[in-house]
């Protein structure tokens, strides 16, 4: 899970396997963003899920959101080497500088 005091999580899987990354958040939100950061680049939004969706799919990506448990997950089906990146979940906030609060990230490594 991406929240709390844990360090950057690392997951290493073989190409072709499925993987799920979890995110639990502390403050109420109706939208969870998932960003991907490739080495040497800034994060980029890959999927966004709202509270009325429970599940959202985009290609090989699947995001879920459970507002009652304040948790979200991102699954990648049949992972490929190019999926290697750091994945962040982020929740929307109102007010303050932090319009988005980012989780600590999961380093995903896909082994050929």
Q: Which residues would be at the binding site for other proteins (CB under 8 A)?
A: 7-8, 31, 33, 37, 40-45, 48, 86, 88, 92, 96-100, 102, 104-105, 107
Shortest distance (Å) from residue 97 CB to other proteins: 4
Single out the residue of 88, 100, 1, 98 nearest to residue 47, CA to CA. Answer: 88
- Buried b vs exposed e over 53-80: b needs ≥16 C-beta within 10 Å? eeebeeeebbbbbebeebbbbbbbeebe
Shortest distance (Å) from residue 23 CB to other proteins: 14
Shortest distance (Å) from residue 45 CB to other proteins: 5
């Amino acid at each position: 899970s991406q929240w709390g005091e844990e360090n950057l999580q690392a997951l290493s899987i073989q190409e072709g396997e499925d993987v799920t990354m979890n995110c639990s958040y502390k403050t109420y939100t109706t939208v969870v963003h998932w960003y991907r950061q490739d080495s040497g680049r800034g994060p980029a939004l890959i999927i966004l899920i709202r509270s009325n969706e429970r599940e959202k799919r985009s290609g090989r990506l699947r995001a879920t959101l459970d507002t009652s448990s304040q948790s979200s997950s991102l699954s990648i089906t049949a992972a490929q080497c190019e999926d290697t990146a750091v994945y962040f979940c982020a929740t929307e906030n109102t007010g303050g500088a932090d319009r988005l609060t980012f989780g600590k990230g999961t380093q995903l490594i896909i082994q050929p």
